[in-house]
Structure 1
C-alpha cells in the first residue's frame, strides 16, 4: 500500500532540523478554523490522541525518526478521498507548532485520490 500522506523535500529537510532540536515529532490535522486547519507539528506525545483521532500515516525520511500523522475523525470524514502532502512555506504559523519560531509554517496540499488509490484504501 502507498502512503496517504507524503512530504515535500522542503518539509522533510525542516523535519530533520526540528527533530534535532525537539526530539521525535508527530503531526495532528484538526478541522478547526484558522491555524487549526493547518497540520500542527509537536514533540511526539505532546498532543494526546484519542478515539476521536485516526492515524493516517507514518512518515519516513532521511534525518528523522518515523513521524505519525494523525487527523481528527470528523475531519477525516471530509478528507478521506484525498491524498495529502505536507509542505512548508514562508510565513508565521501557529505558536503551538514547533516550526513557528523558524518563520515558516507547514501546510497541506491535497488532491483527489485516483480510482486505483480509492480501491487500494477500500473507499469505493
Structure 2
C-alpha cells in the first residue's frame, strides 16, 4: 500500500487547531470532521469556483474569465510581441492573498504558501 498526499502537510491552522482542541478525544476528529461540522455546503460549492474557475479561450490562449478583457489582451499581446504564453502569465497572474483581502484575521503566511 502507498499513501499519496495531494497537499503538503497542513501547518499554522489556528482555527482548525482551536476547534480540534475542544474535543475530549481530539485524535478522533480530522480535517473532514471540521469541514462537515463548521463549513456550509454553499461555501464548498463557491470554493469550487476558485479551484475550477470559468475560462475564456481566445487568441490561442486560455484566460481566467474574471480577468479577461479583449482590449487588455490586445495591449499585452502587442507589448509581448505576439507571445500568447506571456500574455496568459500576465492576465492570469493571481495572488491568493488578494482573494482573501477582506479577511481581518492575522493569517500565518504558511497557510497561503
TM-score by length of 1: 0.24
- Would you tell me which structure has more strand in proportion to its own residues? 1
TM-score by length of 2: 0.25
Q: Return the index of the structure with the highest Cα Rg.
A: 2
- Would you tell me which structure has more helix in proportion to its own residues? 2
